[in-house]
Amino acid sequence: MTPILRTIDLEKTYHKGSIDIPVLRGVTLDVNEGEFVTVAGRSGSGKSTLLNLIGGLDTATAGRIVVRGADLSEMDRRDLALHRRHTVGMIFQSFNLIASRTALENVTLALAFGEHPRSDRKSRAAEILSRVGLADRIDHTPGELSGGEAQRVAIARALANSPDILLADEPTGNLDSRTSEEIAALLRSLNDEERVTVIMVTHDEAMADAVSDRVLRLLDGRFVEEQTGGGAP
């Protein structure tokens, strides 16, 4: 089985003045289609950077990322935008919703970027929002939503353009434990039912263990451990 995602000796070094700060030091990872993979690690271990590289928001210093046979290092900025638009969907710890737009409008904006036909954007957005359990909150702005509801909107937005891979960067970091469990369960059910590949980054190892097929531990920019998660079939 060919993996849907493959990173090969991925390196990322940030430059602060004359000082080089290596964040990723040769990360190699294969993720199969439909897998739920969690990257766990302490703050500063490089896990968010890895996700940003896979998401095409940032570019690697060395190494390659191949998604469905396409090499991100060979893509120009326009291709990377298309990659973010159609191949991956991202969710963040701080939700990153547009505060002035309602839940529905946040999702339709993603559909507009995806050049989804204008006529059924609203129905499509409403459909995804009800899939994540927000059918009755679609006309509320992020300020009127709880953290868990906001993250559900973010998940709906990430799924809007039917991506192959959902990239979740500390999706439960800003949520209480009960809501965290709900969000983790939602991601797991999306992975099970919609067959969307999920790559999650978290420092909550218990949750990681509970929902993932596979948990990889990142320390100082390298994978140090891999184990099968509790969510594995």
Work out which of 84, 124, 152, 214 binds another protein, going by CB under 8 A. Answer: 84
d(CA 101, CA 53): 28
Work out which of 20, 42, 44, 118 binds another protein, going by CB under 8 A. Answer: 118
Work out which of 25, 64, 68, 85 binds another protein, going by CB under 8 A. Answer: 85
Residue 82 interacts with another protein (CB under 8 A)?
yes
| Cα Rg of the chain (Å, integer) | 17
Residue 97 interacts with another protein (CB under 8 A)?
yes
CB of 233 to another protein, least distance (A): 31
Work out which of 8, 75, 109, 210 binds another protein, going by CB under 8 A. Answer: 109
- Note whether 167 and 51 are within 8 A (CB): yes
Q: What is the DSSP letter of 139?
A: T
CB of 94 to another protein, least distance (A): 4
Q: Which stretch binds another protein (CB under 8 A): 74-82, 132-140, 182-190, 211-219?
A: 74-82
Q: Which CB sits closer to another protein, 118 or 195?
A: 118
Residue 98 interacts with another protein (CB under 8 A)?
yes
Residue 157 interacts with another protein (CB under 8 A)?
yes
Work out which of 28, 100, 146, 228 binds another protein, going by CB under 8 A. Answer: 100
Work out which of 7, 38, 45, 93 binds another protein, going by CB under 8 A. Answer: 93
Q: Which CB sits closer to another protein, 161 or 231?
A: 161
Work out which of 114, 133, 147, 230 binds another protein, going by CB under 8 A. Answer: 114
Give me the DSSP letters along the chain: ---SEEEEEEEEEEEETTEEEEEEEEEEEEE-TT-EEEEE--TTSSHHHHHHHHTTSS--SEEEEEETTEEGGG--HHHHHHIIIIIEEEE-TT----TTS-HHHHHHHHHHHTT--GGGHHHHHHHHHHHTT-GGGTT--GGGS-HHHHHHHHHHHHHTT--SEEEEESTTTTS-HHHHHHHHHHHHHHHHHT--EEEEEES-HHHHHHH-SEEEEEETTEEEEEEE-TT--
Q: Which positions touch another protein (CB under 8 A)?
A: 52, 55, 57-58, 77-78, 81-82, 84-86, 89-90, 92-94, 96-98, 100, 109-110, 112-115, 118, 157-158, 160-161
